[in-house]
Structure 1
Amino acid sequence: MFERIAELVIRRARLVLVIAVVAVALMGAAGTGAFGKLLEGGYDDPTSQSTRAGKVIGEKFGGETNLVLLVRPSEGGVDTPATERNGRALVADLRKEPGLENVVSYWDEGNPGLRSENGREALVLAHVKGDETEQSENAKAVIERYTGTYEDALTVRAGGGTAAGDEMGSQVGDDLILAEAIAVPLTLVLLLLVFGSVVAALLPLAIGLIAVIGTFAQLFVLGSVTDVSVFAINLTTALGLGLGIDYALLMVSRFREQLAAGETVEDAVRRTVTTAGRTVAFSAATVAAALGALLVFPQYFLRSFGYAGTGVVVIAAVSTLFVLPALFVVLGHRVNSGRLPWVNPGRSDARGSVWGGLARTVMRRPALTALPVLAVLLLAASPLLGITFGTPDERVLPESAESRQVAAVLEKDFDGTDEAALHVVIDRPVDKAPLESYAIALSGLDGVARVETSAGTYTEGRSAETGPANAALGRPDAQRINVVSALAAKSDEAQRLVERVRAVTPPDGSRPLVGGVDAVLVDSKDSIGGRLPLAVGLVALSTFVLLFLFTGSIVQPLRALLLNLISLGATLGVMTWIFQDGNLSSLLGFTPQPMDVSMTVLMFCVAFGLSMDYEVFVTSRIKELHDLGEDNESAVANGLGRTGRIVTAAAGLLAVSFFAFGTAELSFLQLFGLGSGLAILIDAIAVRGVLVPAAMRLLGPSAWYAPRFLRRLHQRYGLSEDGPTVGAATSTGPVAGPVTESPYAKDSSGV
């Protein structure tokens, strides 16, 4: 297959480039519309009890509270006649807003929970209409119109889910611009240092740009037919630029090596496509398999990364296999144009390289060198023993964010609010007596401050002396019950309260649905946790099968999976130590909180896929040398000697793209960027440099073992590609000798 691609590109190079330019222009035109199609949110399981409760409340009670306006009078307290008059005027104006419904306030209800304990502030609660995009637009309009000073008498600040979401959406754009402003120039400088020539350095950036533009177009199409998260943009830019550089680095390095070996441009293209191109295709398959596992989750926040991840990988691989060889044909030896003065483009000796020397040192004392590295990685993974999980809220924003400041005031000065309450909804008629009995049982639970119903307010297992019945919570065909808690939102105690509320015996014949922010967290963790074994199993199975087809061994896939899990465990442990335990929080400027469950799963899949990328780079060369007759130890040392520099350069360049997100203001973007970048470096240095040669030395010849029936299967279906033999027919370069004389002889490893 790769030979046919090479011949097509050689014969029709300019046509391929023209088609590519037209395709990029069309994708660019479509991709500009992606931003208008992408949604915020997407963290909830649409089939969960909390989501279904929210739908019933939306249909029959005007929706759950998702906008909180904190009102403070310029003078006096909230109970003065002047403040009450101005407060009612504010509420009247808000009720005229077409994007709001279910607007309630302290001055309407007299609810003590809507008044601060010091009497200086009061709340106006509302539901912002529409889906995530419409809610964002409606909330933005209301916030711009009413926050600040109202009638020179009230100071109004916005909080709640939609306000936090609006600020997160705005911050994502700012963080993305800053990250790319850092990553792109730094990447170009590093590419110049790696390649030593301006033209060669620009080629990987071109492939990365195609991958990003193409994926934006894909997101536009998908966003038109299904829900796609706006955060998919971040993965698209980081992974598109990184993988484009990874694959192009491999191809450009190989092409320049073949030219340096004396081959013609056409033969160099053939050899590059049939070797490095094969590795690119296989690497892309492993990365796509890891990211494709995200599609098993019901939350479209995670599924969106599956869409973007698989799309950017495929587009990067296809453009690397077609566009890049066409550029090689057109450029020829000019690929080295703009050479930096200190660069010698000649071949390097695998046996004398730093990585080859390191591999030999490790293999002389495999246990002695590997055990300290394993100990450090296991120590780094130890914080996972205390890991806890949560979902994003206003705490991911900087402390200067208004929605976060409002949340802090609510937690400190208010005795629980409707937005933080558990919302129990019964989608059928309920008589007053059983409703009261149910509410009394709920109010007696540990952690419940009060229970509000259409029949009255209840505390500590009895009817409250204050807090009248709220008729708005009752409908002829449904009842809504607010279980207000004084517990910290999303705390372990608040999550346990959800389970206790769901365990209370309901009125006969009813099946209550429990919603609210704490219920959403419980359901999200259950949903992701329930599907996580399937996702991990699919990743492991697909990786095992692909690596077996590539190597013909069942030991190599097991070795790769084990070492990758160790490096990922170390990465997740370090991220837990930083973001959950709060170490380095003052330096990075975030608030410690439980690990974001969705972002942790995403980081695992991305890092696993990329680690398999480098696994293929290294194993391909080792396998080729082993197949050519070198003993296991020599094949490992020489294979790492030839690939070590490329893997290190690729990892460094890709890590830059992710580390740039460490400058983000949103803490979960910091988590994703720093975690992914760290995982790449750990894998490229500690795993490929030390643990792989140590494991290969300890395994010996058994590293290539497979049962006889599987060997026959591999001989028939294995992913082998001999490619054109260098030195035959069209090539008379100096690379036709045996492996011991030239590092280029019969090399189909792809590196």
Structure 2
Amino acid sequence: MHRLADWVTQAPKQVLILWAVLLALAAPLAWQAPGRLSASIGELPNAESTQVTALLRGEFGEQALNPVLLVFKPGPQVSTQAAEQAAADYRAGLLDLPGVSAVRSSREVSVSSGATAPGAELLVAQIPLYEGADTALATIREYSARFERERGAQVGVTGSQAIADDFTRYAETDTKRSEMTALPLIAGVLLLVFGALVASGLPILVGLVSITASMALLYLLTGVMEVATFAQSVVTMLGLGAGIDYALLMVSRFREELGRGQSSAGAAHTALLTAGRSVVWSGTTVMIAMAGLLVPPITFVQSIGVGGVLTVLMTVLASVTVLPALLTLLGERVNSPRRWALRPGRLAEPSPGWQRWAWAVMHRPWRWTLLGGGFLLLLAWPATQIQTGYGGAWGLSPGIESRDALEDVRELGAGGLLSQFEVILPLARPYDPAQDAESFRQTVERVAGVPGVQATISPFLSAADLQAAAQANGAQGGGLDGLGTAIELNRRSFSQSGEFLRFTVIPDRYLNASEIDLLEPQLRAALTSGPTPSLGSPPLLGGAPVGEREFSHAVTGTLPSVMLSVFAATFVLLLLAFRSLVVPVKSIVLNGLTVAAATCVVAAVQSGPLGPVLGFPPGSGVMDAMLPLLLFTVMFGLSMDYEIFLISRVYEGVQAGLDNDEAVAQALSRTARIITSAALIMLIVFAAFIAGRVVLTKSIGLGLATAVLLDATLVRLALVPAVLRLAGRWNWWLPPWLERWLPRLDLRH
């Protein structure tokens, strides 16, 4: 650390030139990064839905398993004949678009669209599942918009790809809007805190530098792995929140040292060796927490973890290089203009008011511990009852095309087209019609009879179904008769090797997460509750609903291991920092309770009357499976910032010979202003995301804002001093054998 401090303060221009070159290279990449992010959850290795998808491609030759649902409505005051012609023309144009392999009416799969307006139609266009999907969807949307302008019709576009595309688009716009909303408010708070325009601008500069560098690294990361859209939101939250907090600490210590008569280089050197050391330790705790997202073997989740670690790394680097270099060059000008200047060291000076508060809390430690701890437990108690799942389209707010079009599809009674289950029956030998046809038919019929199933696509459609499909094809220009439809059904139902059978199950509605969990077991039971073809292994169930359920269960299933990993690493870090067994345990318990309480608050808001007020749409009855994981990793790491700021001051006082209670009172008096200011800034950053249109982003913003509010008030300013008072000298107990083994580290700010 001394070498870094020497270099940064002795060659500040060299440091800044190096960063300027890096940012000039990074800026174009950072600008392009959002367009390379993905909202697709991908496929889980070895998952059942992944096996089904592989078999559909390899054995059945399916290359287009990505339906786009199009709700076509003719313009007002259009005759029946003109409306039908417009629908036919629209469908014919779709078939000519690159990437569109087939276009069918909902009637061709025995799903009545329920359309009552003349010429209204629900169409299903098949596009590639992965490569080329984005381009195909963009082409469909462009064609639909052009058709609307030229013919006066209305076309709503939805489907898994459209929903993912809207997630990506609105996550980006939400992030940009949140930045633009938060920055002026943050600038106002910093101006009040520092009382000088130059000093208040430095933390914002550090935040923007870290975000730019981190987004450029995300761009490079997309060349190695698929990176989740929400990584961008995490980058902004961490870059602004942590970056401004760290700079707040550094600038405050620099101004304090200037007030003591040091030169600008000396003040920056001292700030880097004290506050900078705390920044490094705090950043390490946040990186440990974000690294917890690398534990789940899910690329979607891991990419957010990598993005978070890179962001904190860039934030720490900018805080200990760019900032002290600027401070060295600025010197006393950091307090300009002086019309707003307050006393330079005021932020870090002991506060008599907060010192009296600390003594008041420690005078009644049991009362504060029981009341504060009881309140957190009361908030966190429902955590085990929260039901999680994949949000899907309900993770978007009303007013977004794919969400609104899906509502139209539901009203038309065809929402199940986006929740299709694919059933594959692995045979013990090649298919023999004489022995297997009847049992295959009975299996399909059993599944079709399950409550909640609207239709099945199999070789056993009735003559009426085939006739309806043929009429729909003929009316819309498809050119297939009943025989052609039957041939197509056989092609999709029997594998090329003859060793697999397949049929598709269409529910009677678009299934949310809780409905998937109810219907899937019934389908599995129906598959094996009667005669089946001669099977070599159990039936396989796949499709979007199964993939979504597997993803949700995989995410929630890894939460305990993520928590244990983060707890263990944080325990070791705090053990090294404070040479105590009690302090790490206390910190982990209180921070864990805070995150659990914030998660339950989000769940209560989403499902309660306050939800619509804050812009949360009527939900699916479940919380997005990603939310508890993201809240835990982001908030647990950030809350440790305040823990280290406060406990390091307490530890410093104890090492200087103060008794435990006096050290706690002095530490709180010295850190309360900084913690309160930093918390207010983080609160602004996170609250700005509540105004977004992607529900997961809104929920993360609400959860983090709630956690910061609880952590910086109840926990840090009441529970921590009360618990430290109760533990007394045991706060700093360490077994002698462990004392000898641990290295001695310097942690001051």
> Could you state the TM-score of these two structures normalised by the residue count of structure 1?
0.89
CA contact (8 A) 2:249 2:674 kept: yes
Structure 1 residues 119, 611: CA separation in 2 closer, same or farther (over 3 Å shift)? same
Structure 1 residues 274, 342: CA separation in 2 closer, same or farther (over 3 Å shift)? closer
3-state SS of the aligned residue for 1:312?
Answer: helix
Report the more deviating stretch, 217-226 or 420-429. 420-429
RMSD: 2.8
**1:295-444 equivalences in 2 (<5 Å):** 295-341=294-340, 343-347=342-346, 352-414=351-413, 417-426=416-425, 430-431=431-432, 432-444=437-449
Distance 2:681 2:328 in 1: 26
- Structure 1 residues 150-170: Cα deviation after superposition (integer angstroms, max 9, x where no partner): 984864321212222233333
**Partner residue, 1:615:** 643
Distance 2:71 2:121 in 1: 6
Offset of 1:65 from its aligned partner?
A: 4.1
Distance 1:234 1:324 in 2: 24
CA contact (8 A) 1:452 1:458 kept: no
CA contact (8 A) 1:61 1:472 kept: no
**1:277-676 equivalences in 2 (<5 Å):** 277-341=276-340, 343-347=342-346, 352-414=351-413, 417-426=416-425, 430-431=431-432, 432-456=437-461, 470-477=489-496, 478-486=500-508, 489-503=511-525, 504-505=527-528, 507=533, 508-593=535-620, 594-676=622-704
- Structure 1 residues 450-504: Cα deviation after superposition (integer angstroms, max 9, x where no partner): 3221233699xxx999988533532442543111222551253432322333453
- Structure 1 residues 301-337: Cα deviation after superposition (integer angstroms, max 9, x where no partner): 3222212110110111112112222222222222222
**Partner residue, 1:91:** 91
CA contact (8 A) 2:416 2:510 kept: no
Distance 1:181 1:572 in 2: 26
- Structure 1 residues 488-537: Cα deviation after superposition (integer angstroms, max 9, x where no partner): 51253432322333453364125543223321232112211332222111
* Matched residues, number: 713
2:140 pairs with 1:139: no
Structure 1 residues 257, 114: CA separation in 2 closer, same or farther (over 3 Å shift)? same
Structure 1 residues 438, 641: CA separation in 2 closer, same or farther (over 3 Å shift)? same
Distance 1:65 1:417 in 2: 14
**1:723-742 equivalences in 2 (<5 Å):** none
Report the more deviating stretch, 397-406 or 40-49. 40-49
Report the more deviating stretch, 523-532 or 635-644. 523-532
Structure 1 residues 556, 448: CA separation in 2 closer, same or farther (over 3 Å shift)? same
**Partner residue, 2:731:** 703
Report the more deviating stretch, 189-198 or 502-511. 502-511
- Structure 1 residues 44-101: Cα deviation after superposition (integer angstroms, max 9, x where no partner): 53542223323443552233343101233558999x7776655444333222211222
Offset of 1:550 from its aligned partner?
A: 0.3
Structure 1 residues 90, 298: CA separation in 2 closer, same or farther (over 3 Å shift)? farther
CA contact (8 A) 1:450 1:457 kept: no
Q: Which amino acid aligns with 1:619?
A: I
3-state SS of the aligned residue for 1:450?
Answer: strand
Structure 1 residues 68, 590: CA separation in 2 closer, same or farther (over 3 Å shift)? same
Distance 2:412 2:424 in 1: 28
Structure 1 residues 325, 160: CA separation in 2 closer, same or farther (over 3 Å shift)? same
Structure 1 residues 415, 39: CA separation in 2 closer, same or farther (over 3 Å shift)? closer
CA contact (8 A) 2:414 2:509 kept: no
**Partner residue, 2:50:** 51
CA contact (8 A) 2:255 2:345 kept: no
Distance 1:539 1:172 in 2: 27
Offset of 1:563 from its aligned partner?
A: 0.5
Distance 1:637 1:43 in 2: 52
Structure 1 residues 87, 352: CA separation in 2 closer, same or farther (over 3 Å shift)? closer
CA contact (8 A) 1:443 1:458 kept: no
3-state SS of the aligned residue for 1:630?
Answer: coil
CA contact (8 A) 2:288 2:637 kept: yes
3-state SS of the aligned residue for 2:227?
Answer: coil
Report the more deviating stretch, 241-250 or 85-94. 85-94
Distance 2:463 2:3 in 1: 77
Q: Structure 1: which 4+ aligned runs deviate by more than 6 Å? A: 75-78, 463-468
Offset of 1:145 from its aligned partner?
A: 0.9
Distance 1:44 1:182 in 2: 36
Offset of 1:416 from its aligned partner?
A: 5.3
Ranges in structure 2 where 5+ consecutive residues have no aligned partner: 470-481
Distance 1:214 1:312 in 2: 8
Offset of 1:43 from its aligned partner?
A: 6.1
CA contact (8 A) 2:413 2:509 kept: no
2:270 pairs with 1:271: yes
3-state SS of the aligned residue for 1:100?
Answer: coil
Structure 1 residues 342, 315: CA separation in 2 closer, same or farther (over 3 Å shift)? closer
3-state SS of the aligned residue for 1:482?
Answer: strand
CA contact (8 A) 1:440 1:458 kept: no
Distance 2:288 2:51 in 1: 32
- Structure 1 residues 642-693: Cα deviation after superposition (integer angstroms, max 9, x where no partner): 1111111111112211111111122221111111122112111111000000
Distance 2:3 2:440 in 1: 74
2:64 pairs with 1:69: no
Q: Which amino acid aligns with 2:323?
A: L
Offset of 1:185 from its aligned partner?
A: 1.1
CA contact (8 A) 1:260 1:347 kept: no
Q: Which amino acid aligns with 1:6?
A: A
Structure 1 residues 143, 479: CA separation in 2 closer, same or farther (over 3 Å shift)? farther
Distance 2:398 2:739 in 1: 60
Ranges in structure 1 where 5+ consecutive residues have no aligned partner: 722-747
**Partner residue, 1:194:** 193
> Could you state the TM-score of these two structures normalised by the residue count of structure 2?
0.89
3-state SS of the aligned residue for 1:591?
Answer: coil
2:218 pairs with 1:219: yes
Report the more deviating stretch, 366-375 or 554-563. 366-375
3-state SS of the aligned residue for 2:102?
Answer: strand
Offset of 1:124 from its aligned partner?
A: 1.1
3-state SS of the aligned residue for 1:224?
Answer: coil
3-state SS of the aligned residue for 2:580?
Answer: coil
Structure 1 residues 437, 223: CA separation in 2 closer, same or farther (over 3 Å shift)? same
**Partner residue, 1:744:** none
**Partner residue, 1:743:** none
Structure 1 residues 304, 104: CA separation in 2 closer, same or farther (over 3 Å shift)? same
3-state SS of the aligned residue for 1:425?
Answer: strand
3-state SS of the aligned residue for 2:416?
Answer: coil
Q: Which amino acid aligns with 1:140?
A: A
Q: Which amino acid aligns with 1:236?
A: V
CA contact (8 A) 2:391 2:512 kept: no
Distance 1:598 1:349 in 2: 38
CA contact (8 A) 1:31 1:216 kept: yes
Report the more deviating stretch, 627-636 or 391-400. 391-400
Offset of 1:385 from its aligned partner?
A: 4.7
Distance 2:101 2:628 in 1: 35
Offset of 1:695 from its aligned partner?
A: 0.3
Q: Which amino acid aligns with 1:440?
A: E
Distance 1:712 1:4 in 2: 28
Q: Which amino acid aligns with 1:490?
A: N
Structure 1 residues 521, 340: CA separation in 2 closer, same or farther (over 3 Å shift)? farther
**Partner residue, 1:103:** 103
CA contact (8 A) 2:421 2:544 kept: yes
